[in-house]
Structure 1
Amino acid sequence: MSLVVTSKSFEIIEQNYLLLLDNLTDVIKKEIPYFDPSPTKLGHIKRNLQKFKSLDLKQQLHTLELANKFSCIWPVLSIANVDIGDLHKAVKGKFQPDEDSSQEYNGFFFEIAMASRYLQIFPENSPVTIELNGITDLVIDSHFAIECKYLISSNKVSKNIKKAAAQINERVNSGLARHGIIALDFTHLFDYKENDRRFGNLLKRYYDEHRKNDYATKDSFIYNRIVNDKEFINKASRIGITLIEEILSPCLKGLSLSENIIGIHYEYSNTFVIDCDEIIVVPVRGLSYFPNPKLDDEGKKLFGKFTHKLAVGI
């Protein structure tokens, strides 16, 4: 079980997003010269960042969340074999923050985001190859076949797991990869209201304790210390993962996976904004795993270590 919690200033998020927007536009224009990001969700996010102070709190939260979400994909786009047509479909469309988690592009985006996380496991400048085309969604160095499922219905979780397993088996049996991992994103199914309530209560308890014992005059200093505190991160992690496992656990009972599959990764993403003497954006990603019961104890231990390496920023 891992939780990625980072705090970012508005300036850093804006800078990263504008860089992503320029690079992404250049990549798409190489095959689609007429592409213009201005009328798309990407252009809307840019305009919102430019007039950020005039937005209401809800608009600010959505804008920062989506800007940060898109910014994290650039590392993999710069080296991966990505279908530009699919990429174009993912970024076009209107800015609909209230419905963002249900939009079709999230499936493809999840594949890119997972590729970015796997990429960060390897040492810098490693000759890593990433394939985002084929039978399965993602293949790393012809070794790991990753089948990504962005879940949109709690009633179809089991069906998606079985489908992912079949796709991995086909890839491995064809000699195109050695092992497979199923990756599940519960972001759309996540109980945000309950998670926000529990996270907020936990944050308040830590803030009250720090305020009693800390001579810092600025709230921002205290909040930044809290969200980087290992004990706080562990407790916050348990909150989100528990909510996911309420949906997932019944689907794992009696589940049989082939020896081709190492296990399952499951995650969710959320963003909190702390508005004090400065705006602190807190992107959160909860991540845990289910090892294939057929693995021996050492194999399960290695899969756990591998999973924790994925907890590398958001």
Structure 2
Amino acid sequence: INYLPAVDLGKRYDFHEYINGQLRFPLAPGRAYKVELYIQQADSVAIDHLQVIYGEKQDIKTLASGNLGICFLYNKPRWLPKDGFQPQVLFKDPIITKKGEWKKISATFVPDRAFLFFVVGNFFKDENTRNTLTNNDEIRAFNETHPGFSEKKKRISYYVIDDFSVTLTEMPTARSVITETLAENSVYIFKNVNFETNKWELLPEALPELKALAAYLLEHPGKQAEIAGHTDNVGNKKDNRVLSEKRAEAVYKYLVFKGMEKGRLSFKGYGEQQPIEPNTTAKGRAANRRVECRLK
């Protein structure tokens, strides 16, 4: 169970399940590893699971959710906190699969310790977890006014996982990816420049990629660039444009701080005007929430 909010259960904490295990060998600090697994939404299992507890008439809303994380640990986990674990690998966006489909997902990371153990699950609160339901506020309001456990509507995402592997790999540097991308089409979409909802402060995970872009631009003094911010179509158009501009400005200010000349750099927020994917799906909306560097 990757998503089952506390308010749906009449409890203090969200309900999540975790998978933990031990690797064959400790990871080598400083080496790049590819984490790969196959995953499938199991809506029927979720429904059966809750109906056993609450009865066949229970109102159940199945969904896809994000924040599936993999936390690598040095010592064997003896307990799991309700929140606070910081997974080294995180799939923030909802993982959507068709009925019966096994989807392969993967990520690359570099450990800083000789980790031997791992835990898979959602280490974040459900209120901070992206999901595919469009009426969450309505359901939450309903549940807050209905005290009976079985009266409350249940929102749940349930996944099954198979063929989990962690293997050594070569990680392309952010600098090489940026150089190759800008040479091909003059536009680079940041992979790790993400923001908290309705905020524009840069997160620590964004800094390596921004440092790499700053180094690229400083070594190419003849190039000018625009930092462009974009959003999906959720919310007010004017607010989205302002938000996208503040995020683009945050990146702009960091690049100037790293030595870029203001005359070579500009920023602009486009809001929801230039989507690169349809906004009809969670995956499409996630792709449209982005910041780009455009060479002029």
Would the TM-score normalized by the shorter structure come out above 0.5? no
Q: Report the TM range for the smaller structure's normalisation.
A: under 0.3
| TM-score of the two chains, using structure 2 as the length reference | 0.26
Q: Work out which of the two has the higher radius of gyration on C-alpha atoms and give 1 or 2.
A: 2
- If each structure's strand is expressed as a fraction of its own residues, which one has the higher value? 2
